[in-house]
Structures are given as C-alpha cells and as structure tokens.
Amino acid sequence: MHLVLLGDSILDNGAYVEPAGSVLEQLQQEVGSSAQVSLLARDGALIAGTIEQLGRVPRGATHLVVSAGGNDALRHTGVLLERATSVAQALSKIEPVRDGFAKGYRAMLDTAAGLPLPIALCTIYDVQFDDPVQRRMSNLALGLLNDVITREAVRRRWPVIDLRVLFDAPGDYANAIEPSAAGAGKIALTTAQIVRNHDFAGPSAFYGGAR
C-alpha cells in the first residue's frame, strides 16, 4: 500500500503541530511500516496547485487522498462583506464564486481520474474565525462549495471524508483554519479505515466519524 496525500494544509499541517502530530506521521502510524505514505500536499496550495501535484504522483502509488479548495474559498471572503439590498442580490454575488470554484474543482478531478487509482476526497471543514458574524457567514458560503465537492464525489463514485462532521470539537483546530494534532489524528484514522475497508468499486460513501 502506498498512499499519496494531495492538496493543501489540511493534509500538510506539519507547520502547525509538533512533528509527531502531523497528518503524515499519524497516518503512517495507522497504516504501519508495511505501507508507505507520501506527502505532495502543500500549505497554501490552490486547486490549480493540486493539479500540478497530480503530475508528480509517484509510480507505485495505490491510493490518493485529496483535500483542496479551502484556500480558493479564502481568496473570496471579501464577497461576504459586500453590501446587498436583498437575499437575491447577495446570492447573485456568491454564485459566480461557486461557479468558478466548480469549474476548477472539476478540472482537478478530471486530472485525478486520469490516474487509475482509488481516490478519496475531503470536504472543506467549518472555519473558526473569532468574529461570530464572519464565522457564520463564511461557513454558510462554504456549504455551497462543499455541495460541489459532494456532488462530484457521488457522480464519480468516490468516498468522501466529511471534515465538517469529523471536526466536532474546538481542539481539532490549531487555529481558525488549520488542523491540530487531534484533528490530524481523526483524518489519519478515518483515511486508514477507508483504504482498508471501502469498496472502491461500489458507490460513494461519506465518512465523518473516526472510531
């Protein structure tokens, strides 16, 4: 078994935790020394960067885990602060962001699908901004982007790690937008369960509870 992690700092969280607390290190412990885990994900990577990472997947890889889109979403947080005189007008401002996100995300998944490997996708978890209004508005908007991720996963029959459900405690976050060692442990355990037990030839499934 050779797992490859692609995307952003949800999987490349080593800069925010002690070395043993990273997703990479904890996933390696979960799968054991007979398996290999490679990290291509990079802190700050956009969806376009994930496409570039897919071009570097090593030979011998057996599974891909992708967490992408969170940084693309952060680039558009200013939209939430724009004035609107109606709900319809507010939604009209968010719709182009959602459509652009969908176009880029689908292109990334099409590239991933060109590799004959089992693939699992991560949703974008809720952010934990200190300002309660910013937090609520951001997470409401993220729901529209996560809808893109889950729809595409179902269409492609790929499993989903739903981080919105998995990260259910404040201690899962190292800061407002990065996983702590505890959060990374949940990702590692859930990922290991998927690669061991999920029927990748069957329908998609949603995983949101590490046990």
63-78 pLDDT, tens digit per residue, is 999 999 988 887 766 5
d(CA 161, CA 31): 17
Q: What is the mean pLDDT of residues 39-60?
A: 96
- Supply 62's token pair: 């057996």
Number of domains in the chain: 1
Q: What is the Cα 54 distance to its own chain's centre?
A: 15
pTM, 2 dp: 0.89
What does residue 161 show for φ and ψ, rounded to 5 degrees? Answer: -95, 105
Counts of helices then strands in the chain (DSSP H, E): 7, 6
CATH number, position 89: 3.40.50.1110
91-145 pLDDT, tens digit per residue, is 666 677 789 899 999 999 999 999 999 999 999 988 777 778 767 777 777 788 8
Give residue 45's domain range. 2-207
182-210 pLDDT, tens digit per residue, is 999 999 999 999 999 999 989 898 988 75
